[in-house]
Structure 1
């Protein structure tokens, strides 16, 4: 295997001890390599299987990562294995165990993590999607430390979960401090409010790095954070810390040796930052969905006075695409895998039409109006806002399965009914239109703003409007009518929106003052399934009302 050989060649230095012998301790003057392996944003991808389309998916899977982990451990006897969060939610496999399995079922991700010998996993924002009872029950069933230093018990500065772990490697004390993005206070407010509070990542890092250095005699400090390196914060909440604080921790906190990051689904490797105390801080972020195993290698040297310092870093992400699944992980998860396959392939309705989201962000489409129709029916709202989460989804003619709907609506959002003014609706549409830049691309199509996530381009049903993309953002709504009459600024409407949007996700500040008329604490995806099961047969004519268009 080329991967194994590259590590073997890189590590072959006969002058350096390998610490292969049990009980080996780093002596003054010695240098050893420590390999820190990492996964991030696994989101339920335990097996290399696409449960939406019921087929193999070679690019992802913790079962493939396990094969790489074995290879690294053969080369590097001194190693740690970490996960930087978002593992409890994210695909039909994860949601089956959260919503359909019994209370006695251990979520297979954690079963596999235990089997693979992970040293720690951190809590990501999506760990709170299914409520604290489910999360805490799963943690209690696991042998692996689940950490999060900046998650506090309500109205205290007491961490609700272990803030860090200490691992001794070849006589070197390595501290792993866990941190998560504070955004859960916004995105999962109904599930965490009154129970948990989320502290600023940088401030908490400073507190606990100092603690592990001073009180735990840590020689090396790793920050395991469900946070990106940097980037805009997608929520507005006074006194709530930044969403992506990784760079600030690395550059502004003394005593940090390595950042292991997640949340933004990016791959970051071969990067070092200059720390506040002048030390070199390594950075690794291994993508999403178990697409890569990140490996950061640190050279640990013990000086003559007994102190340990990091003499150098390297880091690289290794894709799993051409790697075989680990047979032990396949065997361990086979029964769970088959249960989920049986569930997601179950048909829920029939259709004579073809439904596709390919053009859903460029024109009004029946597949998005299916979501809108359900949201309006459940809430009784006049209007509904929804996004095309995945433009590759399509189904019909023929059976519509649970997997089809999971792909159409992959997030565990609940539903809100708000009261909005005409002025707020206009501001909403102007804001969401920033998904597009002014002008067209080489094909003559609207030019997409790559810094604006597609899930933050909402479309509104029940309101007739035109977005003129030839105009600058803030001046693009040229038509906005309700029942063939122009909408006044002070006119009020009831609007169905998902919980992510209602709680501030995506920077839709105009919703902050919109009165909440009703909260429906059920998954929108489940509501769509119930709607289809009830109808049995569905066509475009049942939901489609063309009410908006782009001009470009």
Structure 2
């Protein structure tokens, strides 16, 4: 018989060993069961940023102002807040990240000795992955390889390859494990980059995004055995650049339905949709830099031993609703202060504003007439390249060189892209084709329009205005037939004439890709930017004065002056608004019309008058106190002097002013007592309102009381 003390000690040891064995031995789920437990359910939160465009913070260096609505400092606060709520959170970026600010473009992207600020702060914050956007290639592939080494997170692009050996330019994907779930993160880049940065990417090829997504999802599922696939695609939903739809992200879920979540960018438009079962999101970038974080929450459950996505939810988080992360502010302080110091130097003085105030608020003058602002940019291009003709665009509707001292921020304001300058020989036929392509920016003018408007499908940066030639743009004609009276040095341009043209490298690559021009450049400013030449030009002049040569003008429009003035005043009073595109990136996408004034209650509706014996259009116009020209225009008469009794004449809507009163018929009213009330005659009211039966008026009917 054992000693009781030994027995107790022995039992105690056995108990401890059993407990230890229990802790160390995994408990396997029953693979034949379809039920789940709390331990087999994971909520995965995905945060996606895109189109940050160099915003480490929310300071606008060109405007010397903190808008408090963009930047990595606020992204970090959102990330920390959400990760504290759910540790299973990934922070991802969809590209167009390292370009777009004075800090990035003009100080650090060309400095091999300093870290790239955006990448450095993203590493500090703790990003999990980033895919390349098109603007990452603006500064050449060497910069990408540099910041790829600096980043603590992987840089991705599955559809970008070296031409020479077919190897991946950067990693196609990365695999992470979160709460036991194996996650593959796949990166894709819009394949149109050779159109814009051709010379910088000559050693690369860009493949069809959807086809590459299909290829790599198969690899991730079959070879890497991932449970969930997240795709980061720097592209918009629809095709914008390629005829084979290789740049349209909407086809990615069609080709690769195994993807569990898709983040987009590039178009600066908010996306919140599900395509072929795949939740798809993108943050909006209203101000050129993203002011949202896109969020996708995935519910992942283990069913029959397999992690399966059983639910998803898409939302968007506004950066303006969060304060900056103080730790990130402190960490990025060196970059911010260096940039502010760079802007302390005055480079010149403007004697007056270079961009006139808009006649119609919301419609920039520099896109509807020649201005000193565009002329200055074109003058610089002509001087540097020795070209005969130059073309430039208004990148931002509010761009201006304002009266007073100027610094580099002012240059950035009028030329926001780090484009290089190109000089190229073109034929007269090529120049005409280019100019017609540019002039398609305008919507065709129609009778009744009171403003000139812009094509919703064309970005403002794709409308160039030309210097060195004289020409007119007839907006009444269809696109492709609008450039008239085109001359160089006072002589019409012939199709076979050789002309030296100065444009930026982005436009050169685009035109050559479209087949509009064929020659290689005779001048290329790379690595110097056009911005640097504008800066040098202002420094050399010291004092600059706005000058406009008025070498081009819009024609083919005609409107009632009084109605247009009413429309302008209504816009100023916010009674009517200048239409914008759905994504907010293009303003003035439709003309204001007489109908807009009618809908706002600012003019009466058009009326019909039956011509009587002895009437003339002049007497009819006088009767209704409208202009003869507006009556002629409203009726499209072939011969305004030839009207007959019984003809119906449209009387265009009249502007409401203090001469006219609107009256709503009440029970018991007659035209007689209404006329007496306003000191006029009932027949005049009847004629003015086209009332055929003076005894038939209806309660609630609105009539106009003409002046006495």
Deviation at 1:390, TM superposition (A): 1.0
SS at match of 1:513: coil
In the superposition, relative to structure 1, how do residues 72 and 484 fare at CA in structure 2: closer, same or farther (>3 Å)?
same
Aligned to 1:56: 66
Residues 98, 134 of structure 1: 8 Å contact kept? no
Equivalent residue, structure 2, for 1:405 = 411
Tell me whether 1:337 sits opposite 2:330 in the alignment. no
Q: Is this contact kept in 2: 1:345–1:403, CA < 8 A?
A: no
String of CA shifts for 1:296-341, please: whole Å, max 9, x gaps: 011111112x112211211111111232111111111112101101
- Aligned partner (choices 393, 417, 440) of residue 399 of structure 2: 393
The 5 A counterparts of 1:333-482 are 333-356=332-355, 358-439=364-445, 444-482=450-488
How has the CA–CA distance of structure 1 residues 471 and 38 changed in structure 2, closer, same or farther, with 3 Å as cutoff?
Answer: same
Of 531, 534, 539, the residue aligned with 1:528 is: 534
1:312 has 2:303 as partner: no
In the TM superposition, residue 190 of structure 1 has moved relative to its aligned partner by: 1.7
Residue 448 of structure 1, CA deviation: 1.4
Partner of residue 292, structure 2: 292
SS at match of 1:36: strand
1:392 CA drift (Å):
0.5
Q: Deviations over 1:91-129 (max 9, x none)?
A: 1121134356x4332122112211221110111111121
Work out whether residues 48 and 325 of structure 1, in 8 Å CA contact, stay in contact via their aligned partners in 2: no
Please provide the CA RMSD for this pair.
2.1
| Cα distance change, pair 508–385 in 1 and its aligned pair in 2 (3 A) | farther
Q: Which residue of 2 aligns with 1:67?
A: 77
How far residue 26 of structure 1 moved from its aligned partner, in angstroms, is: 11
Do the aligned partners of 1:41 and 1:84 also contact (CA within 8 Å) in 2? yes
- SS for the counterpart of 2:347 is strand
Distance across 1 between alignment mates of 2:126 and 2:420: 35
Aligned ranges for residues 110-129 of structure 1 at < 5 Å? 110-129=119-138
When residues 460 and 119 of structure 1 are mapped into structure 2, their CA distance, relative to the original with a 3 A threshold, is same
Higher strand share: 1
Aligned to 1:5: none
1:327 maps to what in 2? 326
Describe the SS at the equivalent of 1:410: coil
> What runs of 5+ residues in structure 2 fail to find an aligned partner?
1-25, 30-34, 357-363, 558-708
Distance in 2, Cα, partners of 1:388 & 1:466: 18
Give the 5 Å matches for 1:223-234. Answer: 223-233=231-241
Please say if residues 250 and 273 of structure 1, whose CA atoms lie closer than 8 Å, have aligned partners that are also in contact: yes
1:46 is displaced (CA, Å) by: 1.0
How far residue 242 of structure 1 moved from its aligned partner, in angstroms, is 4.2
Alignment of 1:2-401 (within 5 A): 29=36, 30-98=40-108, 102-194=111-203, 196-233=204-241, 242=245, 244-269=247-272, 271-274=273-276, 280-288=277-285, 289-304=289-304, 306-356=305-355, 358-401=364-407
Aligned 8 A contact 1:54 1:341 in 2: no
Instruction: Tell me if the contact between 1:148 and 1:162 (Cα under 8 Å) persists in the aligned partners.
Output: yes
Contact 1:428 1:508 (8 Å CA) reproduced:
no
SS at match of 2:312: strand
Secondary structure of the 2:365 match is coil
Distance in 2 between residues matched to 1:133 and 1:327, nearest whole Å? 32
Q: Say if 1:501 and 1:508, in contact at 8 Å, map to a contact too.
A: no
CA distance in 1: counterparts of 2:291 and 2:353, whole angstroms: 31
Asked if the contact 2:211–2:255 (Cα under 8 Å) also holds between the matched residues in 1, the reply is no
- TM-score normalised by L of structure 1: 0.89
Q: 2:109–2:116: 8 Å Cα contact kept in structure 1?
A: no
Counterparts of 1:393 and 1:186, CA distance in 2: 26
CA contact (8 A) 2:108 2:115 kept: no
Instruction: Between 340-349 and 368-377, report the one with greater CA deviation.
Output: 340-349
Taking the aligned partners of 1:125 and 1:107, their CA distance within structure 2 comes to: 17
Q: How does 1:509-520 map onto structure 2 within 5 Å? A: 509-520=514-525
Structure 1 229/518 Cα, relative in aligned 2: closer, same or farther at 3 Å?
same
CA deviations over 1:458-488 (Å, ceiling 9, x no partner): 1110110101111111121122111222222
Task: Report the counterpart of residue 4 of structure 1 in structure 2.
Answer: none
Partners of 1:446 and 1:364 lie apart in 2 by 15
Moved more, 160-169 or 67-76: 67-76
* 8 Å Cα contact 1:37/1:296 also seen in 2: yes
Check whether the contact 1:128–1:191 (CA below 8 A) recurs between aligned residues. Answer: yes
Q: Number of matched residues?
A: 512
> What SS does the aligned partner of 1:435 have?
coil
Change (3 A) 1:315 1:25: farther
Specify the structure having the higher radius of gyration (Cα).
2
Query: Structure 1 unaligned runs (5+)?
Result: 1-23, 275-279
Residues 345 and 510 (structure 1), Cα distance of their counterparts in 2 relative to 1, 3 Å cut = farther
TM-score, scaled to structure 2: 0.70
CA contact (8 A) 2:302 2:308 kept: yes
